[in-house]
Amino acid sequence: MNTNDVKKLYDEYVLSTYFRQDLCLVKGKGSWVEDIDGKKYLDFFPGWVVSGIGHCHPLVTKRLKEQLSKIMHVSNNFYNEVQPLLAKKIIEYSFPGKVFFANSGAEANEAAIKLARKYGNPARNEIITMTGSFHGRTIATITATGQDKVQKGFDPLPEGFKYVPFNDIEAFRNAVSFKTIAVLLEFIQGEGGINVAGEEYIRAVYDICKSKDVLFMADEVQTCMGRTGEMFAFKHYGIEPDAITLAKSLGGGVPIGVLVVGNKYKDVLTPGTHASTFGGSPFISAAALAVFEAIEKDCLIDNARKMGKYIAKKLESLKLKYPVIKTIRGKALMIGVELALPDASSVAAEC
Ligand SMILES: *Cc1c(COP(=O)(O)O)cnc(C)c1O
């Protein structure tokens, strides 16, 4: 098969919900990928933040092969030996609490939404989110997402969400009502264009939440696993969220979503109130555990800080040369370049 044969099959059998480039990738190693015709590319787009530690990291591949030869799936009505090791690892890097395993970022956020609603039930059920945010593509998470473009055409949307402008303390203070049960926000808006939350803003929102028994929930689906120069981005802000959600690069290439909750909320979701068939299966858990191991072994968080500084410096010098570069934003290796163009696709195509 060549790229065209593959394309024809897609055209005939796969729903066209994505914009795709004419590129069929068949191999990946570290920062390099290879297409079906044997052409190699340096990968600047590791799949929406999935391949954060590179393609087919040897440690992840090794652990998955080992697990594959033992057992792939164990129902959550039994124990498996890998899931709790991953849970322990996640808690060690976050805060005292417990985790729930799902299969995607959207599902992790769904779990967070359910946690908040169950905790507030019946009096309080309103969740505040930010304009420009992104929380997933399920019905509840497109509603949580503060962008019209992802919601359009999917009415009726569920009730109980309220939007405020990002980085605006007063707007948040004014939006909190007797019905508010939680805030859900990203420390760095990914989809929204690499918008970094200010330290003062996060601390103010956090203090308001603490004083009103409102859950402070952070969507770390994109900011997790060292990309920002800390394992989790909340560490930059000197606060301890009530809940965080993780996904994307946590799986090292396999699908995972995790809700982490602080001890205060560990008994809100009781047996029978939430579940996921594949959540925390030994195969997936082995991959995520290996991602932590690889980050520790290869000192990838230090590397993210170092390389982040390097690339930011290089981008700043490009900015002096090319006025088309408007601003450069981000932390460590989570960087956005805003262009003084209505549409960046021509620049992307040329790259
Ligand atoms: C991608 C993303 C999601 C959704 O994750 P999926 O795994 O695609 O469901 C949620 N929140 C943020 C911040 C994301 O970037």
Q: How far apart are CA 291 and CA 296, in angstroms?
A: 9
pLDDT tens-digit map of 117-127: 999 999 999 99
Asked if residue 350 has pLDDT above 90, the reply is no
Q: Strand pairing of 215-219 and 243-246? A: parallel
The reply to whether omega before 122 is within 30° of 0 (cis) is: yes
Asked whether 133 and 144 are in contact (CB, 8 A), the reply is yes
List strand residue ranges (DSSP E) for 141-179, in order: 161-164
Return the pLDDT at 15.
97
pLDDT-derived band at 134 (thresholds 50, 70, 90) equals: very high
Please provide the DSSP assignment of 46-67 as one string. Answer: -TTTT-TT-BT-HHHHHHHHHH
Protein residues with CB under 6 Å of any ligand 1 atom: 48, 104-106, 109, 134-136, 186, 190-191, 219, 221-222, 247
Please state the rounded mean pLDDT for residues 278-292. 98
* Strand partners for 42: 32
Return the pLDDT at 146.
96
Asked if residue 349 has pLDDT above 90, the reply is no
- Candidate of 45, 139, 184, 221 to mutate for ligand 1, largest count of ligand atoms within 8 Å of Cβ: 221
Asked whether 218 and 185 are in contact (CB, 8 A), the reply is yes
CA angle 40, 41, 42 (to 5 degrees): 135
pLDDT-derived band at 46 (thresholds 50, 70, 90) equals: confident
Asked whether 33 and 40 are in contact (CB, 8 A), the reply is yes
Please state the rounded mean pLDDT for residues 170-175. 98
pLDDT tens-digit map of 289-332: 999 999 999 999 999 999 999 999 999 999 999 999 999 999 99
Which residue do the tokens 């920002």 mark?
Answer: 228
Q: Using the atom order of ligand 1, give the atom closest to the CA of residue 223.
A: 13
- Candidate of 138, 191, 195, 245 to mutate for ligand 1, largest count of ligand atoms within 8 Å of Cβ: 191
Q: Using the atom order of ligand 1, give the atom closest to the CA of residue 222.
A: 15
Q: How would you label 196-217 residue by residue, b for 16+ Cβ within 10 Å and e otherwise?
A: bbeeebbeebbebbeeeebbbb
Cβ of 69: how many Cβ atoms within 10 Å?
8
Q: Using the atom order of ligand 1, give the atom closest to the CA of residue 220.
A: 13
Please state the rounded mean pLDDT for residues 132-139. 98
Distance 318 CA to ligand 1 centre (A): 30
Return the pLDDT at 44.
87
Asked if residue 150 has pLDDT above 90, the reply is yes
Asked if residue 348 has pLDDT above 90, the reply is no
If one compares 254 and 349, the residue with the highest pLDDT of the two is: 254
Q: For residue 58, how many C-alpha atoms fall within 13 Å in the half-sphere facing its CB?
A: 2
pLDDT tens-digit map of 241-273: 999 999 999 999 999 999 999 999 999 999 999
Please state the rounded mean pLDDT for residues 7-15. 97
Distance 111 CA to ligand 1 centre (A): 13
